[in-house]
Chain A
Amino acid sequence: MEYEAVIGLEVHVQLKTNTKMFCGCINKYGGLPNTHVCPICLGMPGVMPTPNHDAVVKTILTGLMLECNIATRCKFDRKNYFYPDMPKNYQISQYDEPLCEGGAVTLNLLAYPKDAQKLETTVVDKKVRLVRIHLEEDVAKSQHDEGQSGVDFNRAGTPLMEIVSEADMRTPEEAFAYLTALKQILIYGNVSDADMEKGQLRCDVNVSVRPKGQEKFGTKCEIKNLNSISAVRRSLKYEIDRQIEVVSEGGTIRQETRRWNDVKGETAVMRIKEQAHDYRYFPEPDLLPLNTSLGLRSEAEVLMPELPSAKKARLATQYGVSEYQASVLSSEVALADYFEKAAEAAKDKGLVANFLLNDYLAINSDLSTIAVPAPWFSELANELTAGKINSKQAKEVFGLMVSDNPGNLTPLEIIKAKGFVQVTDTGALEAWCDQAIANGARSVADYKAGKVAALNALKGQVMKLSKGQANPQTVGEILEQKLKAL
């Protein structure tokens, strides 16, 4: 029997704000334990929360970017459970009136893992629907020792968005693409740095399997301890195989929480789902409900960025770059911004895209950290377009410009220092051509016999004679004329 997996993701995203959700302590990763704290985020007796304006606006912005319905009225609730990393033993969260509902994440081709991008089974532009996005506060961090644990409340109270997807994904690759595309949007909106290694984006995975064609969901398991997008993919692959094996041998899946062991590459039981949690949600009496129509929504609308799909389309039409180049450029907002500056003064914008995506990528895989002033790209491209240097020289200049440029020379200065000039004086070129024809009887014969490629050998000769300074195009034209006349 053929099985398919059903995957839903619950993602917690730390918002990029100056301060915590309900107090003025700094929202910053790390620091000495318990130094970014105050009576409020320590849950001291008598303290009260005051919500961070920017956290609310950034959550609404996220909702707008993901085409959610933004609630006009929403409220905060208390989610009650005891744990030492919870300052108040309840978490201020949102229960039945979240800020955002509905919406979707679109899985574009580049969001898939490289090896999956070429597969026929990859569903491009699939929409994974969202259930909701709500705002809540993060808990403290703890470290565990022999017999005891230590709690550091620096992280406690950090604003968190919880983004819950529908169980719309069917493969580990789709889950990978979902997270990649979501992360891209979050960075586009400047709502989070979404760095999984730093815990800024945390993901709980729910997965079950069912015979293909069956509508009813199977029993699901939750996977925890996933700290990279590739770990999500690999753990899902493992877990789906495990579940299919159990089910196809006639066994049943037990509802449980499993932990991903990245080193062993397998999931293992963490805890069997104890009786359902009784969180005793009720409206947070210390906070007024929010009315997003009183300015909050319009503030978020102002912050709305050009989204990746729109940017891709615009780059393609405005700069005439290929669709593929446009998608790569728009995959990171910093890269797209850089490209636009780099191409601004260029006569041939596509040339700049080539330099950036082909030549630069050959040297450095990280496109987000280019230290070269963007206008240099235009300068270099225009020299090439104007025929003042040839493409071989341009490549050399480019290499020096981006990686070996102690004097911080501009492309023009490099060209000058290297003495790169392209010879277009036909007198000199004709002389070199005559010499090449004289020395290359074999090639001439081949050409005459109809082997057009033989022209290249003669051309190479001319380039050699000119020490690379001849204009290859002109050389080609002269050679052809001369050969025809022979």
Chain B
Amino acid sequence: MSMIHFSVTALRKQLAAKEISPVEVVDALLARIEAIDPQVKAYLHVDAAAAREAAKSADVTRPLGGVPIAIKDVLNVKGDPCTCASKILKGYIAPYDATTIGKLRDAGAILLGRTNMDEFAMGSSTENSSWGSTRNPWSLAHIPGGSSGGSAAAVGAHEAFAALGSDTGGSIRQPAALCGCVGLKPTYGRVSRFGLVAFASSLDQIGPFTKTVEDAALLMNVLSGHDPLDNTSSRQQVPDLTARLTGDIKGMKLGVPKEYFIEGIDPQVDAAVKAAIAKYQELGAEIVEISLPHTEHAVAVYYILATAEASANLARFDGVRYGTRAEKPTGVLDMYGRTRAEGFGPEVKRRIILGTYVLSSGYADAYYKHAQKVQELIRQDFHKAFEKVDAILTPTSPTAAFKAGERTASPLQMYLADIFTIAVNLAGVCGISLPCGFTMPEGDTPRLPIGLQIIGPNWGEETILRAGHAYEQSTGWHKELPPI
């Protein structure tokens, strides 16, 4: 095991003890990126010189001092490009820092580079990037999941110690599951969204990708907290999330929703998650069967509400103030129509049209307002469940990574890849995905990671991290290395 395989926690110990220097760390990581990223294509942009420069002056006494972190291309980093993997933002240089970026800087982290994603975070495979698709470090023929596929692949491939992503319907947890790493979607309002290019504002949250659960807690300590620039960010107290990772979860009540073990779920995923549930029982947790009856409608609700918000959020990309503009427009309408037609990819256009439609006159009541009410029922399902249990265990994704190109023809099939993660965003609660096994290699399909999702109530990050950590400590999945 070399330096690049360290967890952030392990790396910090070495840095603090001056066993290694931040410059050595950055060099090792840059060498790794140079060696394998041409195949994985996790990064869109790596500023090696700036990272080396930052390493020289890194203050290793700070919480993330000298630790390089990769950033999904959806966050504004002052002076850096931020394209959201879209042609329409080609050439845009961010004039300000996202709040989370400021927090990383304050914690001493080194901002290493920008990771690939589905255009404007719309997708589940990172095949919707205008700059080419990212591949899964466990099998280059497979997708890494999405939309934060670049961040997941970078951490999964040990091209990054940790990364930031954004999760609107599973965009952190699903790729984390598919790439064999840890991904956490915080409670809505826990982490400031200021500076995150919005997809669906009422569902978006920024969260970490890490190699271990403890690292996720460490990053969440840095990222969490009220931000006056985000009106929806909570003033709720933030506990020290690393403090209670004792490994002891005796008496914890864990719910298993019957609706999440449905037909269509891959038998190997089903088996791995059930084995994890058995492991929890062994660790002293009490397993309780629960019901989340409205989950079956989550995908439908999501594709109405998320696209509606997106249709407005993406209206600002019009070629007036930033980004690209169509050549020689003949008038304002022509400028808008062609700029947006040329700048957006097909999935983004599809969702803008859907979202515009469900809000349009005559349809808003039947679609948008009705979906909001079903969302409320989904939220109530979770709140009722959390009266009985501390956390909920489910698969993160119904299948392991699928082959590149396999689902691009059917948007609806692609949407169903997020069936287990979407309800969490709709309810606003928190969730984490962590490795819980692998598929059996079969034919040309290699061994692929499987993810376990632990869902917690509002402000329940401490609980899901504690549960995840206990499981991780008693298994060795997170120690497995990808073939690359």
Asked if residues A286 and B84 are in contact (CB atoms below 8 Å), the reply is: no
A20 within 8 A of B: no
Chain B residues lying within 8 Å of A51, measured Cβ to Cβ, are: 231
B75 within 8 A of A: yes
| B-contacting 9-mer, from A79-87, A185-193, A261-269, A463-471 | A79-87
Given A80-B359, A280-B364, A282-B308, verify A46-B232 contact (CB < 8 Å): no
Using a CB-CB cutoff of 8 Å, which residues 441-469 of chain B contact chain A?
A: none
Chain B residue nearest to A286 in the complex (CB): B201
Given A46-B75, A46-B197, verify A89-B231 contact (CB < 8 Å): no
Chain B residues lying within 8 Å of A83, measured Cβ to Cβ, are: 332
Given A88-B316, A280-B364, A282-B312, verify A46-B231 contact (CB < 8 Å): no
Q: Tell me the minimal C-beta distance from B31 to chain A in angstroms.
A: 32
Q: Tell me the minimal C-beta distance from A455 to chain B in angstroms.
A: 81
B438 within 8 A of A: no
Asked if residues B232 and A45 are in contact (CB atoms below 8 Å), the reply is: no
Cα(A307)–Cα(B336), bound, Å: 49
Q: Tell me the minimal C-beta distance from B96 to chain A in angstroms.
A: 5
Asked if residues A45 and B197 are in contact (CB atoms below 8 Å), the reply is: yes
Chain B residues lying within 8 Å of A88, measured Cβ to Cβ, are: 312, 315-316
Asked if residues A44 and B96 are in contact (CB atoms below 8 Å), the reply is: yes
Chain A residues lying within 8 Å of B194, measured Cβ to Cβ, are: 46-48
Cα(A44)–Cα(B229), bound, Å: 14
Asked if residues B312 and A45 are in contact (CB atoms below 8 Å), the reply is: no
Given A89-B318, A278-B361, verify A44-B95 contact (CB < 8 Å): yes
Chain A residues lying within 8 Å of B315, measured Cβ to Cβ, are: 80, 82, 88-90
Chain B residue nearest to A45 in the complex (CB): B197
How many residues of chain B get a CB closer than 8 Å to chain A's CBs?
44
B391 within 8 A of A: no
Given A46-B76, A282-B364, verify A287-B198 contact (CB < 8 Å): no
B309 within 8 A of A: yes
Asked if residues A45 and B193 are in contact (CB atoms below 8 Å), the reply is: no
Q: Tell me the minimal C-beta distance from B263 to chain A in angstroms.
A: 34
A305 within 8 A of B: no
Asked if residues B76 and A78 are in contact (CB atoms below 8 Å), the reply is: no
> Quick one: CB contact mask for A62-90 with B, threshold 8 Å, 1 for yes?
00000000000000001010111001111
Chain A residue nearest to B84 in the complex (CB): A45
Chain A residues lying within 8 Å of B321, measured Cβ to Cβ, are: 42-44, 87
Asked if residues A280 and B360 are in contact (CB atoms below 8 Å), the reply is: yes
Chain B residue nearest to A79 in the complex (CB): B312
Asked if residues A84 and B92 are in contact (CB atoms below 8 Å), the reply is: no
Instruction: Identify 16 residue pairs between A and B in the complex whose beta-carbon atoms are under 8 Å apart, listed by A's number.
Output: A39-B95, A44-B94, A46-B75, A46-B197, A47-B96, A50-B228, A82-B336, A83-B332, A90-B312, A276-B361, A282-B364, A285-B200, A286-B198, A286-B201, A287-B231, A288-B231
Query: Lowest 8 A-B CB distances belong to which pairs?
Result: A89-B315, A280-B359, A285-B201, A285-B202, A45-B197, A46-B197, A46-B195, A278-B361
Q: Which residues of A contact B (CB under 8 A)?
A: 39, 42-51, 78, 80, 82-84, 87-90, 151, 276, 278, 280-282, 285-288
Q: Which residues of B contact A (CB under 8 A)?
A: 74-76, 82, 84, 89, 92, 94-96, 98, 193-198, 200-202, 228-232, 308-309, 311-312, 315-318, 320-322, 332, 336, 356, 359-361, 364, 368
Q: Other than A44-B95, A288-B231, give 16 A-B pairs with Cβ distance below 8 A.
A: A43-B321, A45-B197, A46-B75, A48-B229, A48-B231, A51-B231, A82-B315, A87-B316, A89-B316, A151-B320, A276-B361, A280-B311, A282-B364, A286-B231, A287-B231, A287-B232
